[in-house]
Structure 1
Amino acid sequence: MEVLGEIDEATLRGRCERKEFFWLDLVSPSDDDVRRLGEILGLHPLAVQDTLAFGQRPKLDVYGQQALLVVHGGVDAEPEEDNPHPLEEIHCYISGDFVVTVRRNEFRDLDRLKGQLTSTGSTRSEQYYVYRIIDTIVDSYFPILSGLDDEINDLEDAIVDRPRKDELLKIFKLKRLLLKLRKAVAPMRDLFAREIETIADLAGLDKDSHDYFRDVYDHLIRITDLLDSYHDLVSGCTDLYLSNVANRQGEVGKQLTIVASVFLPLSFLTGFFGMNFNWISGNLLHGAVAFWLFGVGSMVVSAATMWAWFRHKGWIGED
């Protein structure tokens, strides 16, 4: 199978006439290029209109012996929660004579696949090549999920160590990213569960095995399950954050309460001595020894007694 990267009318018409299967991969074509491609390959006007507009949800539209499959691939980035472009919409025109992929941006996974198919001289069925393209797009989510797994683990460690507003902001970003990914993957999973065999039954496609597309469906189920589990983990991070913040606030409140409790009898003693200073200085406190013994000593004994009582109750010391 030959892999093409631009619209050459003579080449495309010649291959269609000779029934030589090819893959045409277009990156950010103009509207005129898309319309010209539709005229050359005889694409349905509604399918061409979808590609001109983009912004389509995953779907499969069959027009006679051709089909338009809209799928969303995953774009890996570091860190994932700050990825401004996590999804790449790809339109796949499939028939017995060709497969055409149209996208707005570079997609490294398809670029690598083109290199692999170009360097490989073996000949396989048309259905196999269609499967490889779709499977490559679907498998592009796995590097994203691997990165999310590491980031969620780091987030949990950071929250346990010291919860800050940065962690809370990261939680919200991860939730939005996971929701965006699931909105793309769940329709693809449902699509492959119901209608993907339609591609295998298109006229002109040499059939290898329907197991190819069932394998893609299995991958989509795995991706959906991982997204659901990561969403639960991120929600758990929210609960962990709030719990740690509440615990730290309780710890601060406990420390302030202990300090206030220690100073409560000290305030009473200083107030008592202050109100009766004339009598005490004339009848009780004579000299430095009496001052240190009754004046300062009573406050030290009071504070030590309160501290010993708190340790006995387990309010201070080891958890």
Structure 2
Amino acid sequence: MTSFQQAEAANFGLTDQLSRDERYERAEEFVEVTSKLWDSWKDGAVVKDRATPQFADPALVSAINHQGKWFNVQGPLNVSRPPQGRPVFIQASASGRGRDFAAKWADVIFVTHSSLDSAQGFYREMKERAAKFGRDPATLKILPGIVPIIGETATIAEETNRLLGDLALPRAGLSTLSYHLDIDLSEFPLDDILPELDVPGVQGHYKEVAELTRKNGLSLSELGHRYGVGPLRDFVGTAAAVADTMEHWYNSHACDGFMIQASYLPGGMESFARLAVPELQDRGLFRRKYGGATLRDNLGLARPEA
């Protein structure tokens, strides 16, 4: 809904991509319409009474008659309300408009950070924004993406981290960053630092790499290597060491949990599941059984009322 690339616009019937504000305006209405459709069947609408016979109570199913700038939808939905009430909304937004959109609608925010400080600032801001929209801040879960590299020993983990770092090519990282920012970075000398830019693409990625540049004085070549390596590398070591860092982030109000990314598959995910998960379970930081039958249950999110 809020994708920025021209190629993405062409796949959805647009000749030119919409402006950032228009994309979020359309996304806002889209989520409003889909939520109305999911709620067009009230809880208890499905009767399935063979004796009557009656499948659903028509008094509990209604049209939505939505008429807006972007969508005109009569409804109701042609299927009953899902077990979760509606699917879990996961949003990745870092621009000002995107943060407001996420604070109003998202159940989960996916984000990446270059430091604990930036994670804490984002966490605090998004909880405050959620409260301004009349939400209980606890209903908004913030899950930064991390790439844990875990070994049976610290030496094994560091060697794995070094090997993966050696495989990352600066130009490949800059190519990916160019795509994310929607700016051709090849026009800038590799020995220069990243200039201040008006980014049409993902502002969150730009803020992240700009912070890295400021803190460490990275050249574009060095930045390309770091970006090619992947997100924050604070989660490297033994299972206990990685669990220490995760626990510190959680207790420091930097996150409500994490989205685990693997730098290589299947080994990166396997080592986390085999080594880190039992350590986190022993500390009481990770469940030993599922909390329910749905994703919403397992995220500790209440089922929305129809």
- Alignment TM class, shorter chain as reference: under 0.3
For the pair shown, which has the larger CA radius of gyration, 1 or 2? 1
- TM-score normalised by L of structure 1: 0.23
TM-score, normalisation: structure 2: 0.23
